[in-house]
Amino acid sequence: MLKTCISAAALAGRLVAASDLAWTPPSLVPKAAGYPVASNISGIVPCDALREAGLGDRLLFATDAGYEPHLETWYAVNARLRPDCLVLPHNAEEVATALTTLVKANNGGGDWHIAVRSGGHSFPGSNNIANGVTIDLSMMNSSSYDPETKLAKIQPGGRWRNVYSDLHDAGVVVTGGRDGDVGVGGFLLGGGNSFFSGRMGFGCDSVKNFEVVLANGTIINANSTANSDLWRALKGGSSNYGIVTRYDMEALPTRDLYYDLRALSLNYSDAVIEAVIGYTNQDQSFADNALVTYWTHDASSSPETLVNTIYVNVEGNGNATSAFDKVRRLPALFKSSTVQNMAEAANGSQLEGGTRNAGTTLTFRNNPQILRQVVDLHEDFVKRLSDRMDPKKFTTMVFFQPIPSYMAAIAEEQGGNMLGLESLGGNAVMFTGGVTVDSDDRDFGVAKAELAVFTAQVKELSKSLNGDLDFVYLNYAEANQDPLATYGAKNIQHMRDVAAKYDPTQVFQKRIPGGFKISRVA
């Protein structure tokens, strides 16, 4: 009898808490009258364990006013999963406490798991979890420059706009993201394609030291002299070994960039493709110039399909010669050229998110025939989608980005990374296909299915023209792709060995299942 009453009272207590959520943090939920019920129990074993471990005021529950607004800091709507609770640590020690507490909680029983999140820009389920707890690094978002070591010390939860702005004040810049809203943590673990990549390689190649929390809570450094196997594995090898709590990056003196944005009519596609091909074939003496090109379809803009170019000279030289010159002479539907530092550029370039998103990637040889036919396949993709949903409810995009062969040499000079770029065996072009949907899950399901078809067609096309390459770049990959499997036998073995050595109980393979995991590579 008494037992039943206590349960009912406890339940009533929780209902009060839920209805009063706008101003009552869970730790202040009033005790159920007359019964000895602990008022601060959430009833969710891992979340209560975190509270008992002293992280009570780092927790965020669905009953907290801040929960829904915080979910909106995930880029894509479909990635805004609702965990049982989030824990937002403030430093590496708290990350260690959170991780070890969660690993021990209830001995792992039940069917709940753990996610790790930095900027939240990757695909759904990689950085968040519905059944379980998300370790969210958003509060660890500061950056500073140490003039003694000449390294920029960057925490994982920062967004590139904040990183550049903090570092600009110290007179330096790093090989970071181009969109200011993208997070540090995932970007640098997956590679990191930057305007500075022509000189510096992928962002991960600039990391001289990682501070890492291992599954057992030990905090270590990984660099060229200490734990160097882990250092190499973390450069492109993603979330398989530990939680990175600081990235120490080679810093460059800050400078102004020449930044040129254009939109052109689709009938200039061939000229833009020629520029991409030319760029990819340029030697490194042109590497201060960066080119990103993308085709977009949006039924609410006119014309509906456009070719867009972002041309940057990282030395601020607006008169440099490059394979882009011909495009600059074409009439543009829109154009802007400015000279600005990276903090300003990243702040001014932030895709909004807030839609259902999917994106896939492939790599092929630098063959203009392939690129031209991909542009045609994109038009077919748009037609199929328009047949099956309101054309105003989706947008599509196709990116081409040069991967010149010297990127492999830079990686090697910097101590090596996991991407296996040498296997490209020459200059290559990276393709990214994307779709955003602004309606509902049904439309999004259709869009994802059609994107998969489009991607398979691009793969077949590049095979038929002898231009197919295995490489799938992790940062642009969709969950149904397997980037780590394309990084070469030697790197796969290295990642397996490092995961086994630093995470012998397979916490990062089994308890933190989101993202690309080396144990799932065949």
Ligand X SMILES: Cc1cc2nc3c(=O)[nH]c(=O)nc-3n(C[C@H](O)[C@H](O)[C@H](O)COP(=O)(O)OP(=O)(O)OC[C@H]3O[C@@H](n4cnc5c(N)ncnc54)[C@H](O)[C@@H]3O)c2cc1C
Residues in contact with ligand NAG by the rule CB under 6 A: 38, 40-41, 48, 51-52, 138-139, 141, 165, 208-209, 214, 216, 218, 221, 223, 225-226, 248, 258, 265, 267, 317-319, 339, 343-344, 347-348, 502, 504
Per the rule left: phi > 0, alpha: psi between -120 and 50, beta: everything else, 354 is left
Other Cβ atoms closer than 10 A to 426:
13
Partner whose binding site includes residue 210, from ligand NAG, ligand X, none (CB under 5 to 8 Å by kind): none
Q: What minimum distance in Å lies between the beta carbon of 481 and ligand X?
A: 13
Q: What values do phi and psi take at 497, rounded to 5? A: -65, -45
| Nearer to ligand X among residue 137 and residue 421 (C-beta) | 137
Q: Which residue lies nearer to ligand NAG by CB, 125 or 415?
A: 415
379 - beta bridge partners? none
Minimum Å gap between C-beta 496 and ligand NAG is 15
The owner of tokens 């519905």 is 130
Q: Which does 179 bind (CB under 5 to 8 A by kind): ligand NAG, ligand X, none?
A: ligand X
Task: Give yes or no for a contact between 518 and 509, defined as CB atoms under 8 angstroms apart.
Answer: yes
Q: What is the DSSP pairing of strand 305-313 with strand 334-341?
A: unpaired
Q: Which CB atom, from 32 or from 137, has the smaller least distance to ligand X?
A: 137
Contact of residue 121 among ligand NAG, ligand X, none (CB under 5-8 Å per partner type): ligand X
Q: Rounded to the nearest whole angstrom, what is the least distance from the CB of residue 167 to ligand NAG in the complex?
A: 12
Residue 79 is which amino acid? A
DSSP state of 34: T
**Least distance between ligand X and beta carbon 473 (Å):** 7
In angstroms, what is the minimal distance from the CB of 323 to ligand NAG?
A: 18
User: Could you tell me the two tokens for 255?
Assistant: 């400078």
Q: Which does 186 bind (CB under 5 to 8 A by kind): ligand X, ligand NAG, none?
A: ligand X
Axis crossing angle, helix 368-388 with helix 441-464, rounded to the nearest 10? 160
- Using Cβ positions, the residue closest to ligand NAG within the complex turns out to be 318
| CB-nearer residue toward ligand NAG: 370 or 507 | 507
With residue 135 as reference, give the H or E element that holds it. strand 132-136
Q: Which does 141 bind (CB under 5 to 8 A by kind): ligand X, ligand NAG, none?
A: ligand NAG
Nearest to 223 by CA among 214, 242, 210: 210
Q: Which is nearer to ligand X, 83 or 514 (CB)?
A: 514
Q: What is the DSSP string of 437-497?
A: ESS-HHHHHHHHHHHHHHHHHHHHHHHHTT-EE----GGG--TTS-GGGGS-HHHHHHHHH
Pairing mode, strands 132-136 and 85-87: parallel
Q: Give 215 or 472: the residue with its C-beta nearer to ligand NAG.
A: 215
- Count CA atoms within 13 Å of residue 368 on its CB side: 12
Cβ neighbours of residue 2 closer than 8 Å, sequence gap 6 or more = none
**What residue 92 binds from ligand X, ligand NAG, none (CB within 5 to 8 A, per partner kind)?**
none
| In the complex, minimum distance from the CB of residue 422 to ligand NAG, in angstroms, rounded to a whole number | 25
Q: Output 40 or 367, the one with its CB closest to ligand NAG.
A: 40
Comparison of 52 and 72: residue with beta carbon closer to ligand NAG: 52
Give residues with Cβ within 8 angstroms of 250, minimum separation 6.
Answer: 150, 151, 152, 174, 175, 200, 206, 207, 208
CB of 209 to ligand X, least distance (A): 14
Q: How far is the CB of 286 from ligand NAG (least distance, A)?
A: 16
Which residue, 474 or 499, has its beta carbon nearer to ligand NAG?
A: 499
Q: Which is nearer to ligand X, 192 or 433 (CB)?
A: 192
Residue 191: contacted member of ligand X, ligand NAG, none (CB under 5 to 8 Å, by partner type): ligand X
User: Least distance to ligand X from the beta carbon of 210, Å?
Assistant: 9
Beta carbon of residue 147, minimum distance to ligand X (angstroms, whole number): 25
- Give whichever of 13 and 192 is closer to ligand X, judged by the CB atom: 192
Residue 218 contact among ligand NAG, ligand X, none, beta carbon within 5 to 8 Å by kind: ligand NAG
Name the site residues for ligand X (rule: CB under 6 A).
75, 116-122, 126-127, 137, 156, 177-179, 182-187, 189-193, 238-239, 243-244, 351, 475, 514-515
Q: From ligand NAG, ligand X, none, which one binds at residue 436 (CB under 5 to 8 Å depending on kind)? A: none
Q: Strand, coil or helix: what is 13? A: helix
The amino acid present at 295, given as its one-letter code, is: W
The torsion angle over the Cα atoms of residues 422, 423, 427 and 431, rounded to 10 degrees, is -120
Signed CA dihedral, 231, 236, 240, 244: sign only: positive
Minimum Å gap between C-beta 157 and ligand X is 8
| Range 457-479 burial, b when 16+ CB lie within 10 A, else e | bbeebbeeeebbbebbbbbbbbb
